[in-house]
Chains A and B, each alone.
Chain A
């Protein structure tokens, strides 16, 4: 192992030396080729930093690139060059912040189109400004910086982008990003403030793009909006990054190099048929990739957490007080004036026929829905209206009716996400220790490195529970966690829940499995049509004629 490492390092250093000394031995053409590869690598890697893990395919690359180019064009002849680059970086971050704040709520294809529209809008605004305020559309930038200096600037920038990407990947924010990309809802319920993470990385990636634009501008001498904001650049960057693999740090460069060279070979040998051949090759490549272009995401190491304050715990009184909570969806009252209390250490059951509002109630407790009326007090904090990640951090965890594991992440990573962003630092040991403990507790110890999407149904449920427990919650909401289990699995499941309660955990279970309710719950409430129709000890409640009628239907109805 040691020898391979040393060999690896030697090769790496030799390559680095060759790269740095390149302008000294390459002729003008090869240097130009090297410049092309470098600037596309920077753009593609910066793009993949954000768009890869989050799956938000952004076509706004050229918006930031162009802004950087324009900054250089405007300031290039009056300010010292480092100031120009700094200005480009700041402008890129600013515009990214503004657009990110307004748009990161969009998802899927809408974000793609929006990002494209953004680039066009910025271009039109720049044109309008140039025409009406500056009274001249093109800007001239004469620079004494040679191709060599340009190359070295790009080389430095590329090193920076790789370093930044590597650091990001190692930090908990890298994991958060991938969790968001895998399942944003689950990530939110694991304590991750998705918007802030997305915004931060979006800004970081945009800064690299705008500085690249500023560095490249002097090469073209004349900058006008169609030169600076050329949409082809956005598309090319996306294609290169996706083809090379946007999920890993060095993936994009693997897409950049062959494509740039391919473009070159085609341009040089068959200029008249460049387009046709390029298109045909493209189509061939995409068709031949067996699992589509979204590649598998590589495993990253999780770093230990650094901060997090434990919430003040009020030890007396009920843990959860739900008072008059209701939820209406444009006239449909899904939950109507529900009130109940949950004392510490007890298991409360919520039962009722389908459509009675149970899951809606749970969603309001965990923050996925905003209550239309009423209050929810958890410990001594009013939690109605708080976002899911805040409630998660306060110590209220949940599982989902339709299992939501982050399928591209491994079992260990699913748990790690909650550990790194949840409430308190682990009481004993570090993150890896704690996750091992949790996984053993739910019986998944042997499957740490299996991608969660490959688990069986019961194991995914266990993973969900482990993830919920990783938040070190005071209260766990189980949403039909025992559904779909065979008798022996059911036994194990019930035993697991009982063990949790014995360890001091407070639990609310929504269930249809009456045996479990009888076995576990100290008391339960019955919902029908959005309201509570009965409450009490399970045996009493389950023989209440009203409850029976609700489940089986009225004879008179």
Chain B
């Protein structure tokens, strides 16, 4: 049925969008770092998975076990040695955001440069789990479906962690007002570092999984950063479920426009939707105004 044929592939596409945005939700929404090098980290993870797969025959799902802790560590180091200083010296939230934008802009070039030296500028692609499965009459790719399931699973897990655990609540307190959080005894800098590192781990998951079905090259980072930003902002900054829902909505809208209107307008429609959400509900679908 056409409806299923739009909604199901739309959810799968949206799952990919949500997956790539989850890390940024934590890094920007909670740790308050506008990480412009986010997309580059994603592509780096994709390259990592590619190297492990073509070099050692290691399945991407197994590669996750290596990639995630590695990314976690790298991001933690990045925060501790670079970003923490900026957060400390910024006198208000806007100064911190601007500083973090600029510094991560520099990090973007560094990561991209390393990938270019290591892999060159050409396109890379490999296939894993490129099998068809029929769900409710629509044909879906297993690898893309896996991405969707991971997105949903991780999203829910992070949501539970943020809302039901002490550490998660402390993290959310930092997101709302770091100074006040300090006053109630929360160690803002180490918790922020932890959250940022977790965001980095999520980026690695995203990168490894999408490498199973997308063609990528070292220069594609910016595209992913922008996509992730759109999802995060649309969903409400700092809101994990919001990012999940926003990603899914974007996927469905894109697929619907492609089937029902004109494939040429898909990207225009996503940006128009995003801008409309911002205008009507500036804090995003589920967000609330920062204090």
Classify A-B as touching or not with yes or no (CB < 8 A): yes
Interface residues, chain A, CB within 8 Å of chain B?
55, 57, 102-103, 105-106, 108-110, 113-114, 116-118, 120-121, 124-125, 127-128, 131-132, 231, 235, 239, 242-243, 272-287, 290-294
Minimal beta-carbon separation of B195 from chain A (angstroms): 18
Chain B residues near A127 (CB, 8 Å)? Answer: 264, 268
B106 to A109, Cβ gap below 8 A? Answer: no
Q: Complex formed: what's the CA distance from A127 to B237 in Å?
A: 30
Known: A117-B230, A280-B110. A292 touches B86 (CB 8 A): yes
Interface segment, one of B88-96, B174-182, B183-191: B88-96
One of B89, B107, B268, B275 near A114 (C-beta < 8 A) = B275
Show 23 residue pairs from A and B whose CB-CB distance is below 8 angstroms, ordered by the A residue. Answer: A102-B279, A105-B282, A109-B233, A110-B233, A113-B230, A120-B267, A121-B275, A127-B268, A273-B113, A273-B117, A276-B113, A277-B113, A278-B106, A278-B109, A282-B106, A286-B103, A287-B86, A287-B103, A292-B86, A292-B89, A292-B98, A292-B99, A293-B98
User: B131 near A: Cβ within 8 Å?
Assistant: no
Contact A124 B82 (CB under 8 A): no
Check if B256 is an interface residue, CB within 8 A of chain A: no
Residues of A within 8 A of B230 (CB): 113, 117
Query: Is A279 a contact partner of B113 (Cβ separation < 8 A)?
Result: yes
Question: What residues of A have a CB within 8 angstroms of the CB of B112 in the complex?
Answer: 275, 279
Given A113-B230, A282-B102, A286-B99, also A275-B278 (CB < 8 A): no
Assess the B106–A286 pair: CB atoms within 8 A.
Answer: yes
**B positions within 8 Å CB-CB of A:** 34, 82, 85-86, 89-91, 93-95, 97-99, 101-103, 105-114, 116-117, 222, 226, 229-230, 233, 237, 262, 264-265, 267-268, 271-272, 274-275, 278-279, 282-283, 290
Question: Are B105's CB and A124's CB within 8 A?
Answer: no
B117 and A276 contact, CB distance less than 8 A:
yes
A108–B233 CB distance below 8 A: no
Give the docked Cα–Cα distance between A110 and B226 (Å). 13
Are A132 and B278 in touch, CB under 8 angstroms?
Answer: no
Docked complex Cα distance between A235 and B111 (Å):
17
Establish whether residues A283 and B97, one from each chain, have CB atoms under 8 Å apart when the complex forms. no
Q: What B residues does A117 contact at CB under 8 A?
A: 230, 271, 274-275, 278
Task: Chain B residues near A272: list those with CB within 8 A.
Answer: 116-117
Chain A contacts for B114, CB-based, 8 A: 276
- Docked-complex contact A239 and B91, CB < 8 angstroms: no
| Contact partners of B262 in chain A: CB under 8 A | 132
User: What residues of B have a CB within 8 angstroms of the CB of A274 in the complex?
Assistant: 113
For B105, give its contact among A131, A273, A276, A282 (CB under 8 Å): A282
Q: Which of chain B's residues has its CB closest to A102's CB?
A: B279
- Minimum distance in angstroms from B235 CB to a CB of chain A: 12
Q: How far apart sit A105 and B282, CA to CA, in the bound complex (Å)?
A: 9
Contact A108 B109 (CB under 8 A): no
Q: Is the interface of B mostly helix, strand, loop or mixed?
A: helix
- Report the tally of A-B residue pairs with Cβ distances under 8 A: 132
The complex places the Cα of A103 from the Cα of B230 at a distance, in Å, of 16
A109 to B290, CA, bound (A): 11
Residue in B82, B98, B283 whose Cβ sees the most chain A Cβ within 10 Å: B98
Q: How far is the CB of A317 from chain B (nearest CB, A)?
A: 41
Q: Knowing A109-B237, A279-B109 are in contact, say whether A242-B117 is a contact too (CB < 8 A).
A: no
Report yes or no: B278 in contact with A55, Cβ–Cβ below 8 A.
Answer: no
B110 touches A106 (CB 8 A): no
**Residues on the A chain within 8 Å of B90, using CB:** 292
CB A120 to nearest CB in B, in angstroms, measures: 5
The residue on B at minimum CB distance from A453 is B91
Q: Please name the residue on chain B nearest to A235 by beta carbon.
A: B105
Distance in angstroms between the alpha carbons of A284 and B109 in the assembled complex: 13
Is there an interface contact between A279 and B85, defined as CB atoms closer than 8 Å? no
CB of B69, distance to nearest CB on chain A (Å):
25
Measured CB to CB, the closest approach of chain B to A65, in angstroms, equals 17
Contacts of B111 in A (CB 8 A): 279
How far in angstroms is the closest Cβ of chain A from B17? 15
A275 and B102 contact, CB distance less than 8 A: no
Best-surrounded residue of A242, A272, A283, A286 (most CB of chain B within 10 A): A286
Q: A279-B107, A280-B106, A286-B99 are in contact. Are A113 and B264 (CB under 8 A)?
A: no
Distance between A281 CB and nearest chain B CB, rounded to angstroms: 7
C-alpha gap A498/B238 in the complex (Å): 50
- A103–B280 Cα distance when bound, in Å, is 10
Give me the 3 closest cross-chain CB pairs, A-B, nearest first: A279-B109, A275-B113, A282-B106
A120-B226, A275-B110, A283-B82 known; 20 new pairs, CB 8 Å cut-off, are: A103-B279, A108-B290, A109-B97, A110-B233, A113-B229, A113-B230, A114-B278, A117-B274, A120-B271, A128-B264, A243-B102, A272-B116, A278-B109, A282-B105, A282-B106, A282-B109, A283-B107, A286-B99, A287-B103, A290-B89
Residue in A closest to B91 when the chains form the complex, CB atoms: A292
Using Cβ atoms and an 8 Å threshold, which residues of chain A touch B271?
117, 120-121, 124
Q: List A contacts of B267 (CB < 8 A).
A: 120, 124
Contacts of B110 in A (CB 8 A): 275-276, 279-280, 283
Q: How far is the CA of A233 from the CA of B98 in the complex (A)?
A: 17
Instruction: Note all chain A residues with C-beta closer than 8 A to B99.
Output: 286, 292-293
Complex Cα gap A281–B98 (Å): 17
**Residue of B at shortest CB range from A105?**
B282
On chain A, the residues within 8 Å of B34 by CB distance are 109
* Cβ distance B265 to chain A, nearest Cβ, rounded Å: 6
Q: How far is the CA of A114 from the CA of B111 in the complex (A)?
A: 26
A273 CA to B116 CA in the complex, in Å?
Answer: 9
Contact of A242 among B102, B107, B279, B282 (CB under 8 A): B102
Contact of A118 with B102 in the complex, beta carbons under 8 Å: no
Question: Contacts A113-B230, A287-B85 given: A125-B106 contact, CB under 8 Å?
Answer: no
- Nearest-neighbour CB distance to chain A for B237, whole angstroms, equals 7
Q: Which residues of the other chain, A, contact B268 by a CB distance below 8 angstroms?
A: 121, 124-125, 127-128
The answer to whether A118 and B275 touch (CB under 8 A), given A55-B94, A113-B229, is yes
User: Which residues of chain A are near B98, meaning CB under 8 Å?
Assistant: 57, 242, 292-294
CB distance from A304 to the nearest CB of B (A): 33
How far, in Å, is A515 (CB) from chain B's closest CB? 32
For residue B226, which residues in chain A have a CB less than 8 angstroms away from its CB? Answer: 116, 120, 231
Cα distance A289–B27 in the bound complex, in angstroms: 23
CA distance A280 to B113 in the complex (A): 10
Min Cβ gap B180→A in Å is 15
Q: Which of chain A's residues have a CB closer than 8 A to the CB of B222?
A: 231
How close is B167's CB to chain A, nearest CB, in angstroms? 25
- Distance of A322 Cα from B222 Cα, bound (Å): 56
Contact B264 A131 (CB under 8 A): yes
Q: Who on chain A is nearest to B279 by CB?
A: A102
Q: How far is the CA of A485 from the CA of B87 in the complex (A)?
A: 34
Q: Are A239 and B278 in contact (CB under 8 A)?
A: no
The CB with the most chain A CB atoms within 10 A, among B93, B102, B114, B290, is that of: B102
> Would B264 and A283 count as touching, CB distance under 8 A?
no
Contacts of B95 in A (CB 8 A): 292-294
CA of A483 to CA of B211 in the docked complex: distance in angstroms?
61
Asked if A275 contacts B86 (CB within 8 A), the reply is: no
Residue on A with the closest CB to B290?
Answer: A108
Please measure, in the bound complex, the distance between the C-alpha atom of A277 and the C-alpha atom of B116, giving whole angstroms: 13
Contact A132 B102 (CB under 8 A): no
A128 and B265 contact, Cβ closer than 8 Å, known pairs A273-B117, A287-B85: yes
Chain B residues within an 8 Å CB radius of A103: 278-279
Cα(A354)–Cα(B111), bound, Å? 54
Among A125, A274, A280, A293, chain B packs the most CB atoms within 10 A around the CB of: A293
Is the Cβ of A283 less than 8 Å from the Cβ of B103? yes
Chain A hits for B278, CB < 8 A:
103, 106, 110, 113-114, 117
How long is the Cα–Cα vector from A185 to B91 in the complex, in angstroms?
20
